[in-house]
Amino acid sequence: MDLKCEQFVTFRSVRSPKPMRPILAFCTLASLCSGWATANPVISEFMASNKATAVDEEGNFSDWIELHNPTTAPVSLDGWYLTDSAADLKKWKFPNVTLAPGEFRLVWASGENRRFPNQPLHANFSLSADGEYLALVQPDGTTVAQDLGANYPAQRGDESFGGRFLRTVLVAPGANTRYRVPASASDPGATWTQTAFSDATWASGASGLGHGLTVPGITVRMVCKNGTMAGLSDADSLLALPAGHSSILSETTVTADTVNYLGDGSDGHFELNTSPPLGASDNYTIKLTGWVDIPSAGIYTFGTNSDDGVRLKIDGSTLFNDDSGHAPLDNFGSRNLTAGLHSFEVVMFQGSGGDALEFFAAAGQYT
């Protein structure tokens, strides 16, 4: 079996008619934010060297400019202008299009000059990757609503510049979060969006959360406690703390091909040990997360050899729970699994003395 870890990518994509790759770099220009407190539309982002990020309706990687309505009311762009020349503020005129509240609209800087309201918009100029003038001009043709100074900075390929959005933080980074990976089309049921729904059985962890990308390996998080570690409840509490909390002595997250850790003390079953990510220590927890790719349906056994206690969950359900301190000790659990990906979570705690952790699996039932 292949063990695969779950890693998350967070990206901001351009609003366009077709899917695209994540933007490789996103830089902030303070001048892009000017005028955002008004009822005017704004240039929210632009790319002057589009190599492979966004594709227009003809399959071309044209430069692009993104307009945004930051208000709670519709804003008409009829008669507004975009220009790349301070000497010609009326260079390209918008047709009769309206931005809904919060809407983003892409204008391709392709030089094609297409102004049909119900089709993709194309300005009659392109953008220079070396930097040049760029402005949004009001319908009078003389009032510059927004520009980036005499020249915006040079851009590398697939690098965009954009403004920092004003926002209200509802869930702070590192906040304790409950989540569930649905096991079927009917999971978690129709009531999970209701305020009275209980998520007590769901897995928990620190934000943020996002769309998953499975890659080979196991995600390993090790957190050392500034204090004593008495059991799995202490481990769960420590893992739920935000980064920089006074109870966290140190922490790290790595991706590992295998988990066969030996700090101090006796070994388990397998040779070729490696040290825990932060080295041999006392009073810490290790959490393993990822996916196991089951080649065919049947019974599979998962096991650990640990010093001290350990808990294993498969698809969010506990397979075994050993909440005790001890020398290296085996724990096994078997489950009938369908073919495909299944999530796993291993939490191990280390009190004092020897420390070790092995995680393994095999087809069939073993004890």
Question: What are the pLDDT digits (tens) for 79-125?
Answer: 999 999 999 999 999 999 999 998 999 999 999 999 999 999 999 99
- Closest by CA position to 223, among listed 284, 171, 310, 283: 284
CATH assignment of the domain containing 303: 2.60.120.1560
CA 161, chain centre distance (Å): 20
Phi-psi region of 109 (alpha: psi -120 to 50; beta: other; left: phi over 0): beta
Same domain, 152 and 188: no
CATH assignment of the domain containing 103: 2.60.40
Same domain, 151 and 185: no
292 in a structural domain:
yes
Q: Read off φ and ψ for residue 320, nearest 5 degrees.
A: -155, 155
- Closest by CA position to 223, among listed 195, 243, 251: 251
- Closest by CA position to 13, among listed 109, 122, 104: 104
Q: Is the dihedral of CA 43, 45, 51, 54 positive or negative?
A: negative
Distance CA 42, CA 166 (A): 13
pLDDT-derived band at 45, boundaries 50, 70, 90: very high
Cis previous bond, 295, omega within 30? no
30 in a structural domain:
yes
Same domain, 180 and 284: yes
4 in a structural domain:
no
Among the residue ranges 198-212, 297-311, 343-357, the one predicted with the least confidence is: 198-212
Same domain, 294 and 211: yes
SS3 sequence, the chain? CEEEEEEECCCCCCCCCCCCCCCCEEEECHHHHCCCCCCCCEEEEEECCCCCCCCCCCCCCCEEEEEECCCCCCEECCCCEEECCCCCCCCEECCCCEECCCCEEEEEECCCCECCCCCCEECCCCCCCCCCCCEEECCCCCCEEEECCCCCCCCCCCEEEECCCCCCCCCCCCCEEEECCCCCCCCCCCCCCCCCCCCCCCEEEECCCCCEEEEECEEEEEEEECCCCCCHHHHHHHHCCCCCCCCEEEEEEEEECCCEEECCCCCCCCCCCECCCCCCCCCEEEEEEEEEEECCCEEEEEEEEEECCEEEEECCEEEEEECCCCCCEEEEEEEEECCEEEEEEEEEEECCCCCEEEEEEEECCCC
Same domain, 323 and 180: yes
Same domain, 155 and 216: no
For the entire predicted model, the pTM comes to: 0.47
6 in a structural domain:
no
What average pLDDT score do residues 230-247 get?
92
Is 2 a residue whose pLDDT tops 50? Answer: no
Domain that holds residue 305: 176-192+201-363
Number of domains in the chain: 2
Same domain, 157 and 228: no
7 in a structural domain:
no
Same domain, 231 and 127: no
Same domain, 328 and 284: yes
Question: What are the pLDDT digits (tens) for 309-330?
Answer: 999 999 999 999 999 999 999 9
Q: For residue 263, with 0-12 CB atoms within 10 Å meaning exposed, 13-18 middle and 19 or more buried, which class applies? A: buried
Same domain, 24 and 83: yes
Distance CA 268, CA 262 (A): 8
159 in Cβ contact with 25 (< 8 Å): yes
Is 25 a residue whose pLDDT tops 80? Answer: no
- Most confidently modeled range among 16-20, 173-177, 193-197: 193-197
Same domain, 155 and 185: no
For residues 14 and 69, the model is more confident at 69
Same domain, 43 and 158: yes
40 in a structural domain:
yes
3 in a structural domain:
no
Distance CA 311, CA 293 (A): 20
Distance CA 25, CA 51 (A): 13
2 in a structural domain:
no
For residues 1 and 206, the model is more confident at 206
As beta bridge partners, residue 336 has 299
Cis previous bond, 351, omega within 30? no
Mark 329-366 as b/e (b = at least 16 C-beta within 10 Å).
Answer: bebbbbeebeeebbbbbbbbbbbeebbbbbbbbeeeee
What average pLDDT score do residues 252-261 get?
90
Is 22 a residue whose pLDDT tops 60? Answer: no
